[in-house]
Amino acid sequence: MKTSFSESLKYFFYDIYVLMVMTNSSILRKKASNLWDKILDHPFVVELYTGKLPFSKFKYYILQDYNYLVTMVRVLSIVAAKAPSVRHSRRALQLAYMTVTGEMENYEKLLSEINLTTEDAVSTIPNPSNIAYMNFLLSTSFATDYYTTMAALLPCFWTYLEIAERHKDKLESNPSTLYRKWASTYLSKEYREIVNMFKEEVDSSRLSVDEMWPYFQLASKYEYMFWSAAYGEEEWTI
């Protein structure tokens, strides 16, 4: 059935209206939908939440991710110095502090539970995918501005929240206390607050969505690569 001109016009203006009322972060999320579906249903993620993930892969992931989080704190510290105002600088430093006292403290507790130390984590050589991801974030924080860097950091935090929300029901039958404890971090009120703070910064950006999109998209791709590297226990080939 053919659509009349008036109906076409109505849909056109409706689409314009939707774009006008949507926030920067929600538009970025929508643009990355296909990519994020692959992240949210990655085999590593699904097996972790069901308790079927081999422990060697989880241990490998924890050691790699600790190194990544150290870089995350450095990136937030760098961008705090480049912030457009004192308020923005305070927000970046607050996020860095919350990462240190939240995720990293939880990781340190997990490390002790699996008979590892922070020294073991720090001395772990980052895999190629991790190196690429960390360098991308560091170069973005040095070469671009506050808002671009926030857009590049957002996928990491936000995908973890969506992963937790999508698979939380699986935790009820997950036989691994360790895996359930790890997942609980991303279902907490405190973690949701961190995600919302990142989204607020991106939503208040002076940049257009088109300007932030390449960095948001690439960070999302690195998120997928990070999970794949952990699942395959990626090694350097030379």
Inside any domain, residue 11:
no
Question: Per-residue pLDDT for 26 more than 80?
Answer: yes
Question: In whole angstroms, what is the distance from residue 233 CA to residue 179 CA?
Answer: 18
Inside any domain, residue 20:
no
Q: What is the pLDDT of residues 85-122, one digit of tens each?
A: 999 999 999 999 998 888 888 888 889 999 999 999 99
Inside any domain, residue 8:
no
Inside any domain, residue 124:
yes
Q: Of 104 and 168, which is predicted with more confidence?
A: 168
Inside any domain, residue 4:
no
For residue 101, the 8-state DSSP code is I
Inside any domain, residue 238:
no
Question: Per-residue pLDDT for 8 more than 70?
Answer: no
Question: In whole angstroms, what is the distance from residue 47 CA to residue 214 CA?
Answer: 30
Question: Per-residue pLDDT for 157 more than 70?
Answer: yes
Q: Which amino acid, 87? A: R
Question: Per-residue pLDDT for 235 more than 60?
Answer: yes
Inside any domain, residue 51:
yes
Domain count, the chain: 1
* Closest residue by Cα to residue 40 from 170, 198, 215: 170
Q: What is the pLDDT of residues 192-215, one digit of tens each?
A: 999 999 999 999 998 999 999 999
Instruction: Tell whether the torsion through CA atoms of 28, 31, 33 and 36 is positive or negative.
Output: negative
Q: What is the mean pLDDT of residues 133-138?
A: 98
Question: In whole angstroms, what is the distance from residue 51 CA to residue 42 CA?
Answer: 14
Q: What angle do CA 90, 80, 82 make, to 5 degrees?
A: 130
Do residues 44 and 57 lie in contact, with contact meaning Cβ atoms separated by under 8 Å? Answer: yes
> CATH number, domain at 85?
1.20.910.10
> Residue 44 sits in which domain range?
25-231
Compute how many other C-beta atoms are within 10 angstroms of the C-beta atom of residue 102: 17
Inside any domain, residue 13:
no
